[in-house]
Structures are given as structure tokens and as C-alpha cells.
Amino acid sequence: MKFLVQLQSLLVQLVVFLACQQLAQATPVPLAVSATSLKQLWKSTGNQNPTVFIHGLLGWGESRKLLGTLNYWGGITQNLLDVLRNQGYTVVAPNVGPLSSCWERACETFAQLTGTVTDYGVDRSTRFQHARFGEDHSGKALLPSFAANFASSTSPVVKVNLVGHSLGGPTARTLAHLLAYGSQAEMDACAKRGVVCSPLFWTNKTQSYVSGVFAISGVHQGSVVDDYLQATNGRVQFIKTLFTALVGANNLNNLDIWDLQLGHHGLNQNSGEKFTTYLDRVCSSAWFLSSTNALFDLSVENQGNALISFVKNAPAVTYFSIAGVSTNYLLGISLAQISTNLFLAPFANLIGTYSNSSLTVLDTYTLRDWRQNDGLVMVASSRGPKSGFNAFSLDMQAGGEGDLVYSAPASAPVKGTYNYVGEWDHGDHLDIIGLFDLIPGLRTKVFVNIMRVLSSLAA
């Protein structure tokens, strides 16, 4: 009897010991518990870089509000950029071509940041037979300190962080590429012609001038919506419908809505010309069917084209991405959630059921990756370019930095590749920037956390 009691006692002790061991293994004490900031967690000095917000397709910058009231970043109820400024961050939002290629948009961003004439490049303008120069921003630099990088060799280096939504994602990546590597083709063309090359294209840069890039629903591998529209000759109607859906037909006729920045293609809006008439002229032009516009860059099929595939990640830049998801996946298809914007719901269902045997790249991912989407962009495309991504889970809707730190990996994000922080559930392509929010503050947490992440990187 005594033996059985001793054996039972030993078994109890063993069970308690094993339970404690399992608890110790299941509940590690990561650095996140003691760290009070991402900088401390990632052992970084952090940075105070200005951050550049780059809008997407059919978007607009901060210099103009749609209908005088609608902010691209925040909608009618708030300006998210002002919210960030009130938290001490320096942010700017240039106005780039809403229908232009990522190359052109990168050139336009650089010109506005540095207060210079927009230079699309000698080689590029020759190849596509348009004017080399665009709008003149001389004396109006959005970031004079950043502009000094290219005006004086004695000025301290000022870097920027980049945030891009939708087409702004690959635009930011293109700009980061050019700021790191320049363009040999442009340098050669300038030398051959004996003209001065834009600093954006210099190939002897010693650094990238960019610390971090954060892509929100970025279209890094295109969208099958574009390929579908191309196959069904629906691109013109899509563009016109998008414009109309944003502001209404009456306003389209009566107001100066967008600056399409197509003057270098000979497509300026004439004085007194109705916007709808101008848009008809743009959509029937040779440029609309060319390889130097947003619709070309948005095609999944075109991602392997040299005009797009030359862009690569800079090894000194830290990239992040987040995907919006407004569909539910079941039995191999994805359908729009009830909260999805009514205009986007049909496109969400299109992506969620789309098949195309000619797009062999679709077979390299799971159906869920390609069919889960935010109404315009697939999860697989938002995670990053074809070169891949690194899973880097972060709670971007955390209520404070402490909660954000607790959710963060203890190791610093990897440079030179996209660190994918995860899906933003119930966030369609327009919700994710608060474009139609009637209640202010719904997106504030995410944007403040984006700034916390970017400012935690080494300068």
C-alpha cells in the first residue's frame, strides 16, 4: 500500500514537472514583453525621415481635393495626413498621373519632391515618341531638404520613406529602384545627345535615398481585372465608369476634376472643354493603347515585360506590404463580403472565380492566394512582386505602440524583400484608405502604425 502511495506521489510530481516544461515552452518571453518600442525591439536607431504618400489609379494628391472636399487619404470626414502631422510626422502627398505608367509617376514624384522640371528621360521619351519634359515644379519643392541631396555634395543626406496604395505600391518600388540604381539606358542616351541627365537616373549613387517602403493593397503582380477587361474590350468603359462612380456624371461635366498630367503626350485638357469630352479624347488616343500607361502596368500578363520586370528591390531598403481582403473563400472560389463597396463587389466576384489558361502564372499559386481579394487586387499580388516575400506578422490595427510591439517579431524586418504583415480583413480597396468613411478615425490606427513601423527603421 505504501508503495502505491509513493508511486502515485511520483506520478503527480512527474505530471507537474512535464506541465511546467510545456508551459515554459509554450509561453516564451520574447523581447516584445520588455521592449517599449519597435526601435528597441529591433535594436534600431530609428529615423525621422519625411514620408511620401503615393496615390493609386485615378487618384489625386493633397494639393487638390476632389470636389473641394474629398481627400484621397481619408475621404470626406478627415485628412489622414493631417492626423499624422499632428502626431509629429512629416508627410507629403504629390499629385501624379492617375492613368500614367509607374515610370512616369515615379518621375513626377521625384520632380515634385525636389522642385524641378519633370524629366521622363531621353531614352524613354524617344522610345515612346513623347516630350521629354512635363510639368515644371521649380521653386515648389515638397521636400527642400531631400532636394538638397542632388544639389550639393556637402549637404547631409536626407532619406525618405514611401507609402503607396494600389498602383502607388509599384510606383513606390519603381522610384526606390531608380533612387538606388538609376538608369544606364538614360545615362547613355544623355551622353550620346550631350545633355544633362536627371539625378533620378544617375547610376553612380552610393545609396538609395530610401529607408522604407510600405505598400497598401499594392498591385505588384497586376490584377486579373485588367486582363479580363483587355480580353473583353472593356477598358474604356471601366475607366469611364470609375470616374463617374467617384464623382457623378453632372460633376464630371462641370468641374475641373483631375489633372491627368498627359501634356507630354499632347493630351492636355483644352480651355472650356468638358471633362467627359476630354476623357473621350484620351481614351480614343494612341496613348491609351500604348505600353506606357497604367493599364499596361496593371496587367498580370505584362509583368514579365522588360518595361516592368527591370525593377528590382534595393538591398538597403526595407519593404513592407499589407493586403486588403473583402471576400470569403469557400470550395475554390471567393465571393464579395456583404460589406464590400457596391461598385467593387462585381470585380471582387470576378477575381474570385476567374480562370485563364493563358496566364500560366496563376498556376504557381494556390487558388486562395489568387482569388482572395479586396475588390480590385488579389492577395498574391498585394504581398509583393514575383521575387517573393517574407512573412512578417504585425497587428497593424493595434491600439497603441505597446500592442504593436507585442505583436511584432523579435527579429528586425529583412531588407531587400517585402515583409508581408498580413491581411486586413473586411477592408476593400477603397475602405483601406477611408475614401468613403462617414465616421472619422476608422483607419487612423493602421496609418499611425504604418508610421511607427517606418520610423523604427535605421536611417
Report how far apart, in Å, the C-alpha atoms of 452 and of each of 67, 207, 393 are.
32, 23, 15
Q: Report the pLDDT value the prediction gives residue 344, as an integer from 0 to 100.
A: 93
With a pLDDT cut of 90, the percent of the chain lying above it is 73
Q: Picking from 13-17, 213-217, 300-304, which range would have the lowest pLDDT averaged per residue?
A: 13-17
Ranking 186-195, 274-283, 285-294 by mean pLDDT, the lowest is 274-283
13 has a pLDDT exceeding 60:
no
d(Cα 66, Cα 269) in Å, to the nearest integer? 17
What would the 3-class secondary structure string for the chain be? Answer: CHHHHHHHHHHHHHHHHHHHHHHHHHCCCCHHHHCCCHHHHCCCCCCCCCEEEECCCCCCCCCCCECCCEECCCECCCCHHHHHHHCCCCEECCCCCCCECHHHHHHHHHHHHHCCEEECCHHHHHHHCCCCEEEECCCCCCCHHHHHHHCCCCCCCCCEEEEEECCHHHHHHHHHHHHHHCCHHHHHHHHHHCCCCCHHHCCCCCCCCEEEEEEECCCCCCCHHHHHHHHCCCHHHHHHHHHHHHHCHHHHHHCCCCCCCCHHHCCCCCCCCCHHHHHHHHHCCCHHHCCCEHHHHCCCHHHHCHHHHCCCCCCCCEEEEEEEECEEEECCEEEECCCCCCCCHHHHHHHHHCCCCCCHHHHHCCHHHHHCECCCCEHHHHHCCCCCEEECCCCCCCCCHHHHHHHCCCCCCCCCCEEEEEEEECCCCCHHHCCCCCCCCCCHHHHHHHHHHHHCCCC
Judge whether 282 and 97 are in contact, CB under 8 Å. Answer: no
pLDDT of residue 328: 97
Per-residue pLDDT, 15: 39
Task: Tell me the domains of the chain and their CATH numbers.
Answer: 40-222+299-324+375-455 (3.40.50.1820)
**Residue 380 contacts residue 389 (beta carbons within 8 Å):** no
CB atoms within 10 A of CB 228: 18
Confidence class for position 120, pLDDT limits 50, 70, 90: very high
Distance of alpha carbon 338 from the chain centroid:
25
pLDDT in tens, 370-404: 999 999 999 999 999 999 999 999 999 999 999 99
Neighbours of 412 (CB within 10 A): 18
Length of the chain: 459
Question: Is the predicted pLDDT of residue 297 greater than 50, yes or no?
Answer: yes
**pLDDT, tens digit (0-9, with 9 covering 90-100), for 303-350:** 999 999 999 999 999 999 999 999 999 999 999 999 999 989 999 999
Q: What's residue 254's pLDDT?
A: 58
The pLDDT assigned to 51 comes to 98
Stated pTM of the model: 0.91
- 222-275 pLDDT per residue, tens: 999 999 999 999 999 888 887 777 666 556 565 566 789 999 999 999 988 888
pLDDT of residue 8: 46
CA pair distance 280, 266, nearest whole angstrom: 14
Share of the chain above pLDDT 70, in %: 89
Q: Which residues, other chains included, contact 361 with Cβ-Cβ below 8 Å and sequence gap of 6+?
A: 221, 300, 303, 386
Q: What is the pLDDT of residues 51-108, one digit of tens each?
A: 999 999 989 998 876 766 789 999 888 999 999 999 999 999 999 999 999 999 999 9
Give the model's pLDDT for residue 208: 86
- Tell me the torsion sign for CA atoms 304, 310, 314, 319: negative
**Cα(first)–Cα(last) distance of the chain, in Å?**
72
pLDDT tens sequence across 424-435 = 988 899 999 998
Sheet holding 318-325, edge to edge: 91-92, 51-54, 160-165, 210-216, 318-325, 418-425, 389-391
pLDDT in tens, 155-212: 789 999 999 999 999 999 999 999 999 999 999 999 999 999 999 999 999 888 999 9
Measured from the Cβ of residue 454, the count of other Cβ atoms closer than 10 Å reads 24
Phi-psi region of 357 (alpha: psi -120 to 50; beta: other; left: phi over 0): alpha
Instruction: Tell me how far CA of residue 126 lies from CA of 103, 182, 184, 190, 295, in angstroms.
Output: 14, 18, 15, 11, 21
Euclidean distance between CA atoms 184 and 166, whole angstroms: 28
Bridge partners (DSSP) of residue 119 are 133
Cβ 59 vs Cβ 435: under 8 Å: no
Separation CA 97–CA 61 (nearest Å): 10
Note the pLDDT of residue 68. Answer: 66
